[in-house]
Structure 1
């Protein structure tokens, strides 16, 4: 994965968590590479990226962090399974991914994003085989949210034929 894909997501994550969720203490920790095949957190929001950059973005967090974000964004406590809770978490991921996607487009990598999917629970498979993912923890006063990036640049010929799916062929 190109390192140029990382910074837009870190910046967008810091900015959106501070502005939309009203968090005061928002800092990123050291990025790391890891292989993943399934979710690692109690609450995960998965978004596909398509275009000249393709792959997956997963926002993983524990239940207390998800509930804190929901409360911060809606002003109310909702059960994690409530449609309003899912909407708040999906909106947060949409804002971060959309902002990062816009930054990537300005740098010459136009892409679009899929609607977010809320995946509850650890061990839920999102790939057939392990995917290399760059992980970036973002630490806040409510807890930690980890951004998992599995993105790659797609050459124009592959984009024109549409030969690759939303994971960008990264399941192998």
Structure 2
């Protein structure tokens, strides 16, 4: 399997840079697979569009439990017990921060991109077909759970 690391490394680095700010420092790469399209099987999906020299979408896909733990970390350890509007807003902002960080990394590589505001989708048994381009799905494994990045970009 041939994976274009130039497309995924900025998102891995962006995720690490942002999560470190909230005390999440042990992030390891998990499974990585190619898919025919960008889809998600998790109950929490945040979609961010990308335009410019690269076009497409990235999704951050999480379990409900991982979502609550991430928001708790963002809230300085205050336990989050439900995915209320505040928690959803925090997750959307987190995806905005990560994707913005990745955009800065791409710019340092000579690829200028812009990002759309995030869209958060929640629900059980939802499969969202976001894009029909070849997608790289990468798990980032943390002590609090897994974030699956689905990177569907056209060069």
Q: Which TM-score band (shorter chain)? A: 0.7 to 0.9
Matches of 1:78 and 1:46 in 2, distance apart? 23
Name the structure 2 match of 1:40.
41
1:33–1:134: 8 Å Cα contact kept in structure 2?
Answer: yes
Normalising to structure 1: TM-score of the pair? 0.79
How far did 1:2 drift? 4.2
Q: Which residue of 2 aligns with 1:125?
A: 128
Q: TM-score, normalised by structure 2?
A: 0.87
Structure 1 residue 79 and structure 2 residue 82: aligned? yes
Aligned to 2:68: 67
Q: List, as ranges, runs of 4+ consecutive aligned residues in structure 1 with deviation greater than 6 Å.
A: none
Question: What SS is found at the alignment partner of 1:31?
Answer: strand
Aligned partner of 2:26 in structure 1 is: 25
Residues 130, 50 of structure 1: CA spacing in aligned structure 2 closer, same or farther, 3 A cutoff? closer
Q: Which has the larger radius of gyration?
A: 1
- Over aligned residue pairs, what C-alpha RMSD do you find? 1.9
2:132, 2:52 → 1: CA distance?
22
Unpaired segments of 5 or more residues in structure 1?
Answer: 154-172
Structure with the largest fraction of strand: 2
What's 1:50 paired with? Answer: 51
- How far apart, CA to CA, are the structure 1 residues paired with 2:67 and 2:37? 21
What count of residue pairs does the alignment treat as equivalent? 150
Aligned to 1:141: 143
1:147-158 correspondence runs (5 A): 147-153=149-155
Q: CA deviation at 1:32?
A: 1.6
